[in-house]
Homo-oligomer: A and B are copies of this chain.
Amino acid sequence: MNFEIIKELSVTSPEKIVMLVLDGLGGLPEPKSGKTELETAIIPNLDAVAAKGICGLSDPIAPGITPGSGPGHLALFGYDPLANRIGRGVLEAVGIDVDLGSEDMATRGNFCTVDNKGVITDRRAGRISTKKCTELCRILDGMKIEGVDIKLYPVREHRFVVVFSGRGLQTAITESDPSRTGVAPMEIKAESPAARNTADIVNKFIARAKEALAAHQPANMILLRGFAKKPQLPSMKEIYKLNPLAIAAYPMYRGLARLVGMGVADTGAGIIEKIKTLKKNYQKHDFFFLHIKLTDTAGEDGDFTRKVKLLEEVDAALPALTALKPDVLVVTGDHSTPAVFSGHSWHPVPVAISSKYCRTDGVKEFSENAFISGGLGRIHATDIMPLAMANACKLIKFGA
């Protein structure tokens, strides 16, 4: 959908939209039972949402394309994920409240362990404490290499963000993290002649970091990946005239919400805390993005039973959310993460939209298979926001 049209048609109204995103929601059948996670879980409240609402399946990017979390969420917020690419470094940085300038280049970092030959033995340095990570970041923070200021920010455990500030930095460089142990960190290489200077600066930074960390076993080296600059996205306020609030605990999703101009609430990790946060802020906003991470983590870990249990936990908490009687409730995911696939997948994602005017279909059960015959059919994820807006009476008629 073209943002210019939505901008033209969107209006402010008292109606409230809650978008509940169960990360990695869609699944695949477990071979023995032939049932997916959603089909296995006992989820009467989600089933009720499906029965009251209109249901369907959505493609976050396009049929066959497996989305990362960034593009999956951008699509849910209505942004074309192919036209708006966001690098991992930027997501991590904005997720910890780092205010990136338009020239800044951010990257994700890991403290890791290398042996005396420089070979990686642990990509996470034994998951050092966040406190230790903070101390080590302080050691490396504040370098200046060839006019470029380098700042470090601890994230959690072994993870941190590096921000390079200077003119002419180019993100077309390779990563140093080989994503496996038993090999040495890779040299950063320029992917275009213009990026040679940037690659050089980053390599010098890594060399200096190695020296400075030599005595800090197991965190005696760093790995960098996801070099990126901040994209210029129009805010959800500009597009939809919404005053949106994100209720998410995991840094990356908080960062993503900030990139599209959402407010970000302080909240706990569980669904119960998040619904409490929703309740507390309910009068102050008209759009709420409520993010549940753990369903995805269970899928990525290949833990079918845990994903089922987590879906049941979400279901059990749901009445506290529906008690608020949001005018529009959207329940969906950013992509599928089937436990039998142990990773994000390309499969379309269940989506249910419940509202007074949703045109309820015959679907009674919240599942991948039941949603095939839903009234929404198979849609593009970027259609979800316009549909939510319409159901909330926030889009006026197009043309006379």
Contacts and interface: CB of A to CB of B under 8 A. Distances in A.
Contact of A86 (B2, B378, B397, B399): B399
Copies of this protein in the complex: 2
A386 B64 contact: yes
B68 A399 contact: yes
A234 to B, nearest CB: 18
B88 A400 contact: yes
Contacts of A2: 82
Contacts of A378: 376-379
Interface of A: 1-2, 5, 9, 28-29, 36, 57, 61-71, 81-82, 85-88, 91, 226, 338, 340-341, 343-347, 357, 359-362, 368-369, 372-379, 383, 385-390, 395-400
A91 B63 CA distance: 29
Among A64, A69, A86, A368, max chain B CB count under 10 A is at A64
Contact of A398 (B1, B57, B68): B68
Contact of A359 (B61, B64, B368): B368
A61 B362 CA distance: 25
Among A63, A341, A345, A385, max chain B CB count under 10 A is at A63
A373 B374 contact: no
Nearest to A363: B372
B9 A389 contact: no
Among A36, A87, A347, max chain B CB count under 10 A is at A347
A399 to B, nearest CB: 4
15 contacts: A57-B375, A62-B386, A63-B383, A63-B387, A64-B383, A64-B385, A64-B390, A67-B398, A68-B397, A70-B400, A81-B399, A226-B400, A338-B357, A362-B372, A378-B379
A63 B375 CA distance: 12
Nearest to A71: B399
Contact of A372 (B1, B61, B374): B374
Given A5-B82, A82-B5, A377-B377, A395 B63 contact: no
A239 to B, nearest CB: 13
A377 B63 CA distance: 11
A395 B65 contact: yes
A194 B17 CA distance: 40
Given A395-B64, A400-B69, A361 B357 contact: no
A369 B362 contact: yes
